[in-house]
């Protein structure tokens, strides 16, 4: 355990998370008379909107996930600590983070919590075994391995039934991520892989997009949703609306239609992009601050100044905050974090929490790409789609990508992919596909062994933890 001295120090801000909220919050404190410690369980700033391009072989991980430490190299008042935050003590103003077997306790004067959200399977967590989500680098690489692996196995299939199952790709959820993924799997099979196999024609692949609601891209409205749907259908994507996925196993999905009919789709490769659940730190904060609640997705219902009740020095921003009319999008996180940083700076100049003006969200619009040369875009009342929207999408994503190097390489990869037929990142390994499940199995075995040891009155075999989760040394930094 390591601790940082509290005496003779500047105002200390702890920022949890290195996503849009965490990074932008930290950067906005660059010139402030504060010391910032950014703690994150991942060592990178992940640009989630382009994860689907990693999953489909267009971009490499490096382009969308620069090391946070390098991004903040020139910010002398910022320290980056890697570790998963496991405790927030609102009484003593400390954060405990864990990296491997070491706990670190970091004190704060102000705290910005930006730990985002994770995949939600709506209580059916076992779906994750067969249908990974799309939230992390690991998810994207696993998915790339599963998609490309399905084509490889299809080439070796000994029956038509096997071949059909392997060449059927099911994407669950027709929000922006589902639409983008379905479009890219279709282009991968039609353009990139065409002519590269002998026993199969990749163009025979079926891509099915399943949505429980009645529309594609529902929140973007019928005009843009309709445009996206027509474009996908033109590319051969089968869209099934008002269809609820009720079960998923190794060989397919069970779907319930609006009239109650149950049917089965045989498919080896499934992707889940149907829901999100806020980081568990939201619930922890609510439990520890009297009167603070979380919404159904586990997001913290914050005060008008994005703090929690009774703790004007603790801000919750990004996908973890619940604020009416603020969508779970990058803009919400950036604007929330910028606002929090401004309040901290104003506080140093004597502004009291009561004097804070409430957070106001400025909706800059939303967009989703459907295929190469086609996107849909909504800015205020203006709604448009097609090539112009696609160019706007490219420009905006390049603007928000962190680092010149990433931008240049991304542009090159986009040229290669969208103007040519090839893709630059088609590598995949067996480990990417199976490591997650193997680690979960090891953890389960460890728990079983510990339960058995407890029943026999013996000490736990592995300190009660799975490998990589050894019992922590207590330390304060």
Ligand X SMILES: Cc1cc2nc3c(=O)[nH]c(=O)nc-3n(C[C@H](O)[C@H](O)[C@H](O)COP(=O)(O)OP(=O)(O)OC[C@H]3O[C@@H](n4cnc5c(N)ncnc54)[C@H](O)[C@@H]3O)c2cc1C
Q: Which residues are catalytic?
A: 180
Q: Is 364 in the site for ligand X (CB under 6 A)?
A: no
CA distance 180 to 173: 11
Residue entry with tokens 């397919």 = 252
**Nearest CA among 318, 396, 323, 335 for reference residue 118:** 318
Q: If binding is defined by CB under 6 A, does position 19 make contact with ligand X?
A: yes
What would the DSSP string read from start to end of 125-166?
Answer: TTHHHHS--SSSHHHHHHHHHHHHHHHHHHHH-SSHHHHHHH
Binding-site member from 14, 15, 21, 189 for ligand X (CB under 6 A): 21
Contact segment (CB under 6 A) with ligand X among 247-255, 325-333, 420-428, 441-449 equals 325-333
* By CB under 6 A, residue 138 contacts ligand X: no
Q: Is 53 in the site for ligand X (CB under 6 A)?
A: no
Q: By C-alpha distance, which of 81, 109, 111, 113 is closest to 97?
A: 81
Which range of residues in 114-122, 192-200, 240-248, 263-271 is near ligand X by CB under 6 A? 114-122
For tokens 């991968």, the residue is: 188
Q: Which is nearer to ligand X, 48 or 417 (CB)?
A: 48
| Count of residues engaged in binding ligand X, rule: CB under 6 A | 33
Among 218, 328, 386, 464, binds ligand X (CB under 6 A): 328
Give yes or no for a contact between 458 and 464, defined as CB atoms under 8 angstroms apart.
no
SS3 266: strand
Task: Please spell the DSSP secondary structure of 138-149, one letter per residue.
Answer: HHHHHHHHHHHH
* Segment contacting ligand X by CB under 6 A, of 13-21, 158-166, 223-231, 447-455: 13-21
Evaluate whether 331 touches 48 at the Cβ level (below 8 Å): no
Write the interaction track for ligand X spanning residues 150-189; mark x where CB under 6 A is met and - where it is not: --------------------------xx------------
Give me 365's structure tokens.
Answer: 């619009």
Q: Which H or E run contains 122?
A: none
- Minimum CB distance to ligand X smaller for 42 or for 153: 42
Separation CA 314–CA 311 (nearest Å): 6
Smallest gap from Cβ 164 to ligand X, in A, equals 28
Residue number with CB closer to ligand X (95 or 235): 95
The reply on whether position 318 binds ligand X by CB under 6 A is yes
Beta bridge partners of 117: 278
Q: How many angstroms separate the CA atoms of 71 and 45, rounded?
A: 8
- Tell whether residue 22 is a contact of ligand X (CB under 6 A): yes
In whole angstroms, how close is the CB of 446 to ligand X at the nearest point? 21
- Calpha distance 35→458 (Å, rounded): 46
Q: How far is the CB of 217 from ligand X (least distance, A)?
A: 11
Residue 338 binds ligand X, judged by CB under 6 A: no
Interacting residues with ligand X (CB under 6 A): 16-22, 39-42, 48-49, 51, 84-85, 114-116, 134-135, 176-177, 279, 281, 318-320, 328-331, 333
């Amino acid at each position: 355990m390591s601790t940082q001295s509290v005496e003779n120090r500047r105002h200390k801000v702890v920022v949890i998370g290195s996503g849009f909220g965490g990074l932008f919050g930290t950067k906005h404190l660059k010139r402030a008379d504060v010391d910032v410690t950014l703690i994150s369980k991942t060592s990178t700033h992940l640009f989630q909107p382009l994860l689907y391009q990693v999953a489909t072989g267009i971009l490499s991980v490096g382009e969308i996930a620069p090391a946070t430490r390098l991004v903040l190299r020139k910010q002398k008042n910022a320290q980056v600590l890697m570790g998963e935050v496991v405790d927030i003590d609102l009484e003593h103003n400390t954060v405990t983070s864990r990296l491997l077997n070491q706990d670190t306790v970091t004190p704060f004067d102000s705290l910005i919590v930006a730990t985002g959200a994770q995949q939600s399977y709506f209580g059916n967590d076992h779906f994750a075994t067969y249908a990974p989500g799309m939230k992390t680098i690991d998810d994207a690489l696993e998915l790339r391995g599963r998609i490309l692996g399905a084509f490889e196995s299809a080439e070796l299939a000994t029956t038509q039934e096997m071949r059909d199952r392997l060449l059927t790709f099911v994407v669950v959820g027709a929000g922006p991520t589902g639409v983008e993924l379905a479009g890219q799997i279709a282009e991968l099979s039609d353009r990139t892989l065409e002519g590269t196999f002998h026993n199969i024609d990749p163009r025979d692949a079926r891509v099915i997009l399943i949505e429980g609601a009645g529309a594609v891209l529902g929140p973007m409205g019928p005009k843009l949703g309709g445009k996206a749907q027509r474009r996908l259908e033109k590319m051969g994507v089968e869209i099934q609306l008002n269809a609820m996925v009720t079960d998923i196993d190794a060989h397919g999905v069970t779907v319930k239609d609006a009239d109650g009919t149950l049917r089965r789709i045989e498919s080896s490769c499934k992707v889940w992009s149907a829901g999100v659940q806020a980081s568990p730190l939201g619930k922890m904060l609510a439990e520890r601050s009297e009167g603070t609640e979380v919404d159904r997705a586990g997001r913290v219902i914050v005060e008008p100044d994005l703090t929690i009740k009774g703790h004007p020095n603790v801000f919750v921003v990004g996908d973890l905050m619940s604020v009416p009319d603020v969508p779970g999008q990058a803009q919400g996180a950036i604007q929330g974090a910028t606002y929090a940083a401004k309040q901290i700076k104003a506080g140093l100049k004597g502004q009291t929490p009561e004097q804070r003006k409430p957070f106001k969200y400025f909706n800059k619009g939303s967009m989703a790409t459907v295929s190469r040369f086609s996107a849909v875009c909504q800015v205020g009342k203006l709604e448009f789609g097609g090539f112009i929207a696609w160019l706007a999408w490219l420009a905006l994503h390049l603007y928000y990508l962190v680092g010149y190097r990433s931008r240049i390489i991304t542009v090159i990869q986009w040229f290669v992919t969208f103007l040519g037929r090839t893709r630059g990142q088609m590598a995949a390994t067996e480990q990417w596909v199976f490591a997650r499940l193997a680690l979960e199995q090891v953890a389960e075995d460890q728990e079983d062994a510990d339960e058995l040891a407890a029943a026999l009155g013996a000490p736990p075999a592995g300190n009660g933890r799975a490998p990589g989760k050894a019992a922590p040394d207590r330390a304060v930094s």
